[in-house]
Structure 1
């Protein structure tokens, strides 16, 4: 959970226990492999896209007013989990309802008033153990629920909180005790007689006071596949005692807790105990040491294909800082998005209907959704291992989305989301119309950095402009992209040179993504030499053939990126002298990678 004490103390203990699987499940970060081919079948529906993963554990101010709607609404938050954290609540008040508890209740009400209403209509999960004050670091003399077999004070606490929140008229969900299998939160033993006294009492009190409330649990830190006996004991007792929760809630914080696998294992364990399927909440996900865009994209892609009903990002910056669990970073101009925010923003655009994909190839996960009302298909791609290199996405079944094809074309935009804070916008690395004549298209992308996430947007064709001609002027030197000595020989390496009106500096950007020089029989295209996708690949001229290494995207920030590699057209070494070679290089925002066609 989000307490500083949990993150600094318990994280070490649980990390050691789970780290044994890292070598098996996680490859070397940044490992480059052979091209990965991914598939999306637009004709094969996989159910509604419900945004599983668009939830948060804390990460807003206590009064719920920050972050602003401008930063929160685009994420379509659908679940929120909190329990105060500004006081020790019931413990601080001497185990009665006093000002410390009232402060927390006021916070819960303020947050719920915002988040359970439109446009969010989120499930609000109250962490009762946090309201009680047991969020890690409580004193050794703390009285725990049902100590010495006496549950009366605990029953009063649960009844008072549930009744007070019921009277607000807002829908409430209750998470009874967070991570009882971690002893800094619950010191009386998991699945001990006292634990079950605590659990059963809380369930019965909530159901008596507010029958409409949703109860979630057990909120174990460990998944069923990691501690099957623990889960088996808990399920057997709660079934027999008639205190099963309405939703199953658990964490997916281990390295690596795959939401698809964990969800399947949990439902199988329910079935083995004769328990029908229940809604499931992954109420904390993504490990503390894997807070990168590629990892978040992987989790979101997997959650979209899992059996979970909702999922909430864990908070490793806990708890009342309005950074949306680390998706925002504070600057002189206030809170600003990071690469993590943009990754979740793209996933939030996955509205409409999920479609079948290749799921996971190696460590690369992909999910996609089509939305005829919005006239778009949105795809999210993330590699859990930090793989870099060439990747392709084949979209089949275009006949099932006739609204996506215009004049025989589909418009494709590929966005790279780097691990960067702040990040003003994703980098468009490929954008052009592609022919849908064959009923499918294959979109190339090149994963440049280990922590990159990628998104692909398909929209109706015909959004590209016509031919545009002029000199390509470098922002760094004010010199122009130049074919030395006005050569027309294939393989001639390009350079920058003082601008003039010669034909060897006049470039034409075509609707299909080419940048060509000269005309007629001498027409040549800007070409990544030998189809290279590595830093330092030479920019040359070559007879036009329509290959991906001759297709270029002119981006709003002035960069020009190659369709095959995603690399930027770059003046080598950021030099400004006449004759400096022009190459391809990882995009870095430098002025030597910005160009103007004029």
Structure 2
């Protein structure tokens, strides 16, 4: 009896790799320290609350208020959304007050007044105790040049840095006596400087409260453990108690968004109980490449959602090749109160056996249910549905306390989660895993294009690509890529295309099957040719072999990979209650493993479970609670009673939706969600139907739904757009705004794309205006959606958009759907 992944291609010739988990070797409580991000937030609302809260982020790094390094991401501004969503602490990158990169060196006397201003503003904040001051950034490279090999030059530069550190340290403490200060914040780990720094800081009583340095090379996956061990030895040598460590920049561009790469980084940080923030290589506001638009998960987001779901203690994991770049790695936890063990692993192709040792029969019983799921790579801007469950199998615990879970046909870029729970009686329902296959663009027949290599170990700051290659330069009239595919049955297939579009507007290709009549595939803009996104289309294919051709349309598009998946019915997902976020003191009942859920979560008064529910688009879905009694569901500020097994029609926004469940007393196995996002029964109003004032006007647009959008909106109190909305009944609605804008400010940074958000004040009737943030859409012609809960009365309602002080986004149209349909 085994939990086995479906085979993907020919079976590996080599014996399976072995990753061993020892549940009797605890490493300490789960810290979730490695889930932070540098410039992960750009504005209040970017990313959305629903994308931010589930990740339980422990630290982020942002610039001081008004800092000139980037146009957004100010620490005090983003702290509002960060703290209301359970965020931990904010590192204030104080030198990001400067405009240039590397920072202009105007001397310490120029810097000190800026330090004073930053500290006074932070100290005045009600949450000042949750900020950390980082006075210097990469001093080994910037201002002080501490990495020089000549010892005499090093000592001269070192002493200047130490004196400035002491001066700034005292300056901060003079204004904020309780300040927590972090440093020295080198660009890489250097034993020489850290030994000298600890001795100096201890002697002069200017020791940081948090030790920071950066791990930004692919070699860090090999070397970090040695760096950590050496640093702790330096502390002991200096007679210093262990400091909290925050690796406040980590990972290469090729790692971000890639679940299999992220496992490798996060496992080594969590094992050592180190905090860490992923680097900022591209755009702010997407949690370092893990949130699509503002609210849509990609594969990397789901990995961090799994990481946030670890509870109890982490336990020892022995990978096949410890401290080796781009190999199978993992982390694991056991929660005795929940009677759950979880293993997260990834980073290698092929087959693996996960051997879990010391599975306590007193905790789990004689059998366990092993549930295996996959979070795949979907690109930096490619949407990823809730991870597919690949296997749910009942296993017998061996006499020596061992359980082995075989994984077959693993994908290097994917992460996998194994959850072990007590087996109980009955047989768990086997998941329906549809047929699926992937085809690399570089392996297809290419006409008028070129294969490029991306994101390898030697080019770690290249962008990730499936198989480390993609196809670009598809810019001639005859450019095309012919994919030869073979499908097992006649039917409907979902075709997912991983692409890049830097053309500055929606771009098209022509899709044809076996040389038949082509259809147009439209690709929204992306940051650049290699910042991968995913476009989903549907095709009908007879059983057998076919040639799928993607030929140049109106602009160039790069291609990475296509995925074909058999459509077996309307999309549906069961969200297991025993894996939901909880508050209160619910209990876990594993007496029966029959069905989709591996057990039941028993909710009583005061308990709450929160489910993260994915929707591919804005619209209505069928939601069913599977349990013993009625529960209450809260969504978008509306609460509705759900009888067990009885479907509800609820409006979900594209991306993640937080659904909170409470009950008087109910044993709940799962929350089941199905459908494709119906718009039947919604209200829709084109921009042309709005009453415009104060300079706002209709602008012709070939890409708008009705040929025009509302432009020149805002930048004056008089410039408004007023829609008249006729609600069939009173209640809570989702106002979905279709908008576009491409505001940017080039700060001259070497590698960051300084996109900016716009805001609009939205007023319903005579109510109070609500300021809503709209993220940059990468072009003026790409329309995204943003959902805003509003309350409407039956009959006519005025919904007004404006912005008295700055430009609002262009508005194509609005839709409204009652939360409970």
Where 2:125 maps in the other structure, the secondary structure is coil
More helix by share: 1
Conserved 8 A contact 2:33-2:270: yes
Equivalent residue number for residue 63 of structure 2: 83
Alpha carbons of structure 1 residues 382 and 209: separation in structure 2 relative to 1, 3 Å: same
Equivalent residue number for residue 249 of structure 1: 212
Alpha carbons of structure 1 residues 360 and 217: separation in structure 2 relative to 1, 3 Å: farther
Higher RCO (CA-CA < 8 Å; seq separation 6+): 1
CA deviation map 1:166-210 (0-9, x unaligned): 122311211111112223x76799844442332111111112221
Conserved 8 A contact 2:183-2:212: yes
Equivalent residue number for residue 267 of structure 1: 232
Equivalent residue number for residue 303 of structure 2: 343
Conserved 8 A contact 2:372-2:418: yes
More strand by share: 2
Q: Please provide the CA RMSD for this pair.
A: 3.8
Deviation at 1:475, TM superposition (A): 9.4
Equivalent residue number for residue 327 of structure 1: 290
Q: Which structure 2 residues correspond to residues 29-108 of structure 1 after superposition, within 5 A?
A: 34-62=15-43, 64-84=44-64, 87-88=67-68, 107-108=74-75
CA deviation map 1:361-404 (0-9, x unaligned): 35322211112343321111123xxx31110111122226x343
Alpha carbons of structure 1 residues 206 and 456: separation in structure 2 relative to 1, 3 Å: same
Conserved 8 A contact 1:283-1:313: yes
Deviation at 1:251, TM superposition (A): 0.8
Conserved 8 A contact 1:39-1:357: yes
Equivalent residue number for residue 494 of structure 1: none
CA deviation map 1:227-282 (0-9, x unaligned): x2233333333333322211110111122214433221211122233333211111
Matched, 1:453 2:453: no
Equivalent residue number for residue 439 of structure 2: none
Q: Which structure 2 residues correspond to residues 164-313 of structure 1 after superposition, within 5 A?
A: 164-170=121-127, 171=129, 172-183=131-142, 191-224=157-190, 228-258=191-221, 259-291=224-256, 292-308=258-274, 310-313=275-278
Query: 1:39 & 1:475 partners in 2: Cα distance?
Result: 30
Alpha carbons of structure 1 residues 595 and 435: separation in structure 2 relative to 1, 3 Å: farther
Where 1:324 maps in the other structure, the secondary structure is coil
Conserved 8 A contact 1:475-1:595: no
Where 1:457 maps in the other structure, the secondary structure is strand
Conserved 8 A contact 1:145-1:198: no
- Gaps spanning 5+ residues in structure 2: where? 1-11, 148-153, 437-484, 489-493, 495-539, 546-560, 572-821
Conserved 8 A contact 2:209-2:244: yes
Where 1:326 maps in the other structure, the secondary structure is coil
Matched, 1:415 2:373: yes
Query: 2:377 & 2:352 partners in 1: Cα distance?
Result: 19
Alpha carbons of structure 1 residues 474 and 355: separation in structure 2 relative to 1, 3 Å: closer
Equivalent residue number for residue 17 of structure 1: none
- After superposing the two structures, state which structure 1 stretch, 77-86 or 209-218, moved more: 77-86
Equivalent residue number for residue 380 of structure 1: 344
Conserved 8 A contact 2:64-2:94: no
Q: Which structure 2 residues correspond to residues 391-410 of structure 1 after superposition, within 5 A?
A: 391-399=352-360, 402-405=362-365, 408-410=366-368
Equivalent residue number for residue 314 of structure 1: 279
- After superposing the two structures, state which structure 1 stretch, 197-206 or 356-365, moved more: 356-365
Match of 1:390 among 351, 355, 358: 351
Where 1:325 maps in the other structure, the secondary structure is coil
Alpha carbons of structure 1 residues 440 and 137: separation in structure 2 relative to 1, 3 Å: closer
Q: Which structure 2 residues correspond to residues 2-17 of structure 1 after superposition, within 5 A?
A: none
Matched, 1:113 2:115: no
Alpha carbons of structure 1 residues 279 and 577: separation in structure 2 relative to 1, 3 Å: closer
Conserved 8 A contact 1:473-1:595: no
Equivalent residue number for residue 364 of structure 1: 328
Query: 1:134 & 1:349 partners in 2: Cα distance?
Result: 39
Conserved 8 A contact 2:47-2:291: no
Where 1:174 maps in the other structure, the secondary structure is strand
Conserved 8 A contact 2:35-2:304: yes
Equivalent residue number for residue 565 of structure 2: 590
Alpha carbons of structure 1 residues 42 and 323: separation in structure 2 relative to 1, 3 Å: same
Q: How many residues align?
A: 426
Query: 1:71 & 1:293 partners in 2: Cα distance?
Result: 17
Equivalent residue number for residue 609 of structure 2: none
Conserved 8 A contact 1:474-1:595: no
Query: 1:474 & 1:112 partners in 2: Cα distance?
Result: 43
- Normalised to the residue count of structure 2, the TM-score between the two structures is 0.47
Query: 1:587 & 1:41 partners in 2: Cα distance?
Result: 38
Deviation at 1:587, TM superposition (A): 11
CA deviation map 1:74-131 (0-9, x unaligned): 2110111101587528xxxxxxxxxx9xx98x942232233345x524111111101x
- Normalised to the residue count of structure 1, the TM-score between the two structures is 0.64
Conserved 8 A contact 2:144-2:160: no
Conserved 8 A contact 2:373-2:390: yes
Q: Which structure 2 residues correspond to residues 123-162 of structure 1 after superposition, within 5 A?
A: 123-130=89-96, 132-133=97-98, 136=101, 142=104, 144-146=106-108, 151=109, 153-162=110-119
Equivalent residue number for residue 393 of structure 2: 432
Alpha carbons of structure 1 residues 298 and 474: separation in structure 2 relative to 1, 3 Å: closer
